[in-house]
Chain A
Amino acid sequence: DAGVIQSPRHEVTEMGQEVTLRCKPISGHDYLFWYRQTMMRGLELLIYFNNNVPIDDSGMPEDRFSAKMPNASFSTLKIQPSEPRDSAVYFCASKGQGAGEQFFGPGTRLTVL
Chain B
Amino acid sequence: AQSVTQPDIHITVSEGASLELRCNYSYGATPYLFWYVQSPGQGLQLLLKYFSGDTLVQGIKGFEAEFKRSQSSFNLRKPSVHWSDAAEYFCAVAADMRFGAGTRLTVKP
Instruction: Tally A residues with Cβ within 8 Å of B.
Output: 19
Supposing A99-B32, A99-B51, A101-B34 touch, asked if A91 and B99 sit within 8 A by C-beta, the answer is no
What residues on A are CB-neighbors of B95 within 8 Å? 99
Q: Does A88 contact B (CB under 8 A)?
A: no
Tell me the complex Cα distance, A74–B44, Å. 20
Report the nearest B residue to A3, measured CB to CB. B43
Q: Hey, what's the 0/1 contact readout for B39-58 against A, CB within 8 Å counting as 1?
A: 00011111001010000000
Instruction: Tally B residues with Cβ within 8 Å of A.
Output: 19
Tell me the complex Cα distance, A95–B98, Å. 14
Question: In whole Å, how far is A106's beta carbon from the nearest beta carbon of chain B?
Answer: 5
What residues on B are CB-neighbors of A99 within 8 Å? 32, 51, 94-95
What residues on A are CB-neighbors of B49 within 8 Å? 101
Supposing A104-B43, A104-B44, A107-B43 touch, asked if A48 and B96 sit within 8 A by C-beta, the answer is yes
Q: Does A45 contact B (CB under 8 A)?
A: yes
Interface residues in B59-108 by Cβ distance below 8 A to A read 90, 94-99, 101-102
| Contact call B97/A91, Cβ cutoff below 8 A | no
Closest 3 CB pairs of A and B: A104-B43, A99-B32, A104-B44
